[in-house]
Amino acid sequence: MKKAFLFALAAATLAVPALADHHGAKMANHEKMHKAHQERLAKILADPARANDAKRDQYRHPAETFEFFRLHPDHVIGEYAPGGEWVSRILGRYINENGKYTGLYFGTKTFFSDQQKQGLAAAIGKFPSDVAAVSGRPAADFNAFSLSETPEGAKGTFDRILIMRMMHNIMNWNIADAEIKAMRDLLKPDGLIGIEQHRAKADAPYSYTDGSKGYMREADIINFMEINGFELVAKSEVNANPKDSANWPDGVWTLPPALRLKELDRAKYEGIGESDRMTLLFKKRP
């Protein structure tokens, strides 16, 4: 018995370096991937062609935000409700030959009028060529579809999905449950959803946080995502703006870039800058 014990102990001791080597190799590979992400993104953000877009970086912090979302160039990345192309002009160039960038558009089975559905269909059709034009990449590297018309084989293939300042709309339109569930189906088992959203004060009334003003309470977003099959991984204050009181009668659109009141107190609102925002990361629960 003693010999058997000593033999087992020796075997276990000999195995430790192998395990350590494996762990070390895994850590080294992770660091290599992280460095590749940082270098690639830094080069894109520093491109002089982004001169106009870069003016908003002070409010949107793309380097820090996309790092917080744990993006990597070979990921399959979906952006929900792509619109202004500020994100597209980054992510369209960010993915490498192994990655994929897809526009995920509203499900159109409910809520939208026939005219709106036609507009969405046109946007879906144009997305690959539009991103190709601003990224210098071939249109074949990009894809787009409505969440109510998910292509065969797309479920379970996405590494990351980003929802950038859009939760208030789908909440206000009462389509959030269906949209989030459809996105959950698209994610791989270890897939993550990154959410950036205009943030209301924690004690703001429901009448101000139902989506109609653009602001949502952070606790409400977290609870909603948990109900719909996600777990909060982390939160970041990278897009916080303490100057934003988040109680404007005209909602978030009072502030830049919308400046709904036009010249009325324009300097004041420009001095505040863009909205205070929560930045949250969720993982798909089994």
Residue 248 Cα to chain centre, angstroms: 26
Q: Where are the domains of the chain?
A: 1-46, 53-284
**Lowest-pLDDT range of 78-87, 178-187, 224-233, 240-249:** 78-87
Residue 47 Cα to chain centre, angstroms: 22
Share of the chain above pLDDT 90, in %: 81
For the segment(s) 53-284, the CATH number from 3.40.50.720, 3.10.150.10, 3.40.50.150, 3.40.50.12160 is 3.40.50.150
Query: CA angle 110-159-239, nearest 5°?
Result: 80
Residues paired with residue 22 on neighbouring β-strands, in sequence order: none
**Is pLDDT above 90 for 220?**
yes
What's the average model confidence in pLDDT over 194-207? 98
| Residue for token pair 């979906």 | 78
Q: How confident is the model at residue 63 (pLDDT cuts 50, 70, 90)?
A: very high
Q: What is the pLDDT of residues 129-181, one digit of tens each?
A: 999 998 888 898 899 999 999 999 999 999 999 999 999 999 999 999 999 99
**Is pLDDT above 60 for 59?**
yes
- pLDDT value of residue 42: 95
- pLDDT value of residue 51: 93
- In the numeric block, which tokens belong to residue 84? 């202004």
- pLDDT value of residue 7: 46
Q: Is 165 left (phi over 0), alpha (psi -120 to 50) or beta?
A: left
pTM to 2 decimal places: 0.89
